[in-house]
């Protein structure tokens, strides 16, 4: 027990019924989208930044762990109370504070849902590009803390490219304002990028200033039927070589297609020529999209791939729903899942997929690889039954080793959290780890923010 009676009493006075302590309430904050479960000792639901600052003042005095939480969709255990302590859930700090049309910026509280922000901005002809597949049910605070990406990352980049400045609460109850309020700025040191992807280990976001863009005039989506998995990566690199910049190039491998059977019934007539799928979207000015689409169609003819294309918003969204249905559909293959989100140089994707197929056929465990192949980022999921857990762990380690051998990284956007923490030592050298530990100590000297995640001991 890390939260003392005295600390709980002070927190109760501060938050009243917005401090949850009953076990049945705590259960709701004990899991995320990984298969982990850690029961917190209490949950705080702040509505104002002054409350967050007071929580952090008390945390420093009473030395209890503080675990920040958005919507709990993390796949790595990062918003979980691994060592007990207080979960601070930002769901009630969900106001859009200010839209600045001249600067094309929007200031939000961390609990705003990414999808709600998209709906709000659309009214003004604007959009916020980062689009994790969880955009309808994940928060901007969580997206910033994990450095979230999504299909549009290929053309538009990820969360890191849109966060201009942050207001951050630090242990002890201090407020830190990072980055200039302007679109540019080089007055040293810009601390904003340090917080993007920090997974709640350096401070708690109170306000976030984001850059937004005008909505593209036109979109065109191609659903490409890939006869041989490796051909998908060839298509992506050839498109880029020809000067095309699709907004998205999303890959679905043949094992994932098994889980999607229901959703792709309408492609039955293509089954014979379908080993994998590629979602390729172009957007921008109408003439550009049509011109790029034509070039892409020529390329499809050369490689002999059939396709289905969509231009209306409804049809495009209907097709993207297939892609977004992947994560929940995987449970059809087996009851347990181990998930990673590795990134490789594009040239290595072909070799990597062949390596996975070999592991799959040797082990009898389903290995799904899907996602943002355009920027080299694949979600590799092992699907297995409980009695195969040791085999799955061994396979996972072989896969991560292969990724590093191919000059990749073990996490592109989901973060390290609890599940990938031991493997950080495989990727980073001791000097990097030492510097990162020193940075953590500057912001959080007593180690109370999200302990036991991200940086290994």
Ligand X SMILES: Cc1cc2nc3c(=O)[nH]c(=O)nc-3n(C[C@H](O)[C@H](O)[C@H](O)COP(=O)(O)OP(=O)(O)OC[C@H]3O[C@@H](n4cnc5c(N)ncnc54)[C@H](O)[C@@H]3O)c2cc1C
Residue with the CB atom nearest ligand X in the bound state: 142
According to the binding rule CB under 6 A, does residue 239 interact with ligand X?
no
Helices then strands, counting H and E runs in the chain, come out as: 16, 18
Helix axes 229-241, 286-303, angle to 10 degrees: 130
According to the binding rule CB under 6 A, does residue 411 interact with ligand X?
no
CB of 155 to ligand X, least distance (A): 15
Contact 399, 342 (CB under 8 A): yes
Of 94, 138, 178, 419, the one binding ligand X (CB under 6 A) is 138
Contact 111, 91 (CB under 8 A): yes
Of 83, 167, 199, 444, the one binding ligand X (CB under 6 A) is 199
Which residues are CB-contacts of 429 (< 8 A; sequence separation ≥ 6)?
A: none
According to the binding rule CB under 6 A, does residue 139 interact with ligand X?
yes
**Residue keyed to tokens 């699709």:** 246
Quote the CA–CA distance of 443 and 278 in Å, as a whole number: 43
Of 34, 74, 329, 411, the one binding ligand X (CB under 6 A) is 74
Of 65, 141, 293, 408, the one binding ligand X (CB under 6 A) is 141
According to the binding rule CB under 6 A, does residue 32 interact with ligand X?
yes
CB of 32 to ligand X, least distance (A): 5
Of 34, 105, 146, 248, the one binding ligand X (CB under 6 A) is 146
According to the binding rule CB under 6 A, does residue 69 interact with ligand X?
yes
Residues 93-132 that bind ligand X (CB under 6 A): 110, 132
CB of 376 to ligand X, least distance (A): 14
Quote the CA–CA distance of 431 and 414 in Å, as a whole number: 24
Measured between alpha carbons, how far is residue 284 from residues 119, 234, 290, 291, 451 in Å?
Answer: 19, 24, 10, 11, 44
What are the respective helix, strand and coil percentages of the chain, to the nearest 5?
40, 25, 35
CB of 387 to ligand X, least distance (A): 26
According to the binding rule CB under 6 A, does residue 79 interact with ligand X?
yes
Binding site for ligand X (CB under 6 A): 32-33, 68-75, 78-79, 90, 110, 132-134, 138-139, 141-143, 145-146, 148-150, 199-200, 204-205, 327, 413-414, 450
């Amino acid at each position: 027990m890390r939260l003392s009676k005295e600390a709980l009493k002070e927190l109760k006075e501060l938050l009243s019924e917005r401090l949850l302590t009953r076990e049945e309430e705590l259960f709701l904050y004990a899991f995320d989208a990984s298969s982990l479960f850690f029961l917190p000792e209490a949950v705080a639901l702040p509505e104002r930044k002054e409350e967050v600052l007071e929580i952090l003042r008390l945390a420093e005095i009473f030395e209890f762990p503080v675990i920040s939480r958005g919507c709990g969709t993390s796949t790595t255990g990062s918003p979980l109370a691994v060592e007990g302590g207080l979960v601070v859930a930002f769901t009630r700090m969900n106001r859009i504070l200010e839209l600045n049309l001249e600067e094309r910026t929007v200031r939000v509280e961390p609990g705003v849902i990414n999808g709600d922000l998209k709906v709000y901005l659309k009214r003004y002809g604007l959009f916020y590009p980062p689009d994790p597949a969880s955009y309808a049910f994940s928060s901007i605070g969580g997206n910033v803390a994990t450095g979230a990406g999504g299909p549009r990352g290929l053309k538009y980049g990820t969360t890191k490219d849109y966060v201009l400045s942050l207001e951050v609460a630090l242990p002890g109850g201090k407020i830190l304002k990072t980055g200039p309020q302007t679109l540019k700025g080089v007055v040293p040191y810009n601390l904003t990028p340090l917080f993007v992807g920090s997974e709640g280990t350096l401070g708690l976001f109170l306000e976030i200033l984001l850059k937004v863009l005008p909505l593209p005039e036109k979109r065109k989506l191609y659903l490409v039927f890939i006869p041989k998995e490796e051909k998908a990566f060839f298509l992506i690199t050839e498109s880029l070589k020809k000067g095309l910049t699709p907004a998205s190039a999303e890959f679905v491998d043949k094992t994932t297609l098994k889980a999607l059977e229901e959703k792709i019934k309408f492609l039955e007539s293509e089954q014979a020529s379908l080993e994998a799928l590629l979602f390729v979207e172009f957007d921008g000015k109408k003439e550009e999209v049509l011109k790029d689409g034509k070039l892409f169609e020529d390329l499809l003819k050369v490689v002999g791939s059939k396709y289905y294309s969509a231009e209306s918003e409804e049809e495009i969204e209907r097709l993207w729903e297939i892609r977004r249905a992947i994560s929940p559909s995987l449970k059809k293959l087996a009851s347990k899942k181990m998930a990673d989100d590795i990134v490789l140089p594009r040239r290595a994707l072909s070799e990597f997929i062949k390596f996975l197929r070999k592991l799959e056929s040797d082990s009898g465990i389903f290995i799904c690889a899907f996602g943002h192949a355009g920027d080299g980022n694949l979600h590799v999921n092992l699907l297995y039954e409980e009695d195969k857990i040791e085999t799955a762990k061994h396979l996972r380690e072989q896969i991560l080793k292969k990724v590093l051998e191919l000059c990749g990284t073990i996490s592109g956007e989901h973060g390290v959290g609890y599940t990938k923490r031991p493997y950080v030592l495989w990727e980073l050298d001791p000097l990097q780890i030492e510097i990162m530990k020193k940075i953590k100590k500057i912001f959080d000297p007593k180690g109370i923010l999200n302990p036991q995640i991200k940086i290994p001991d």
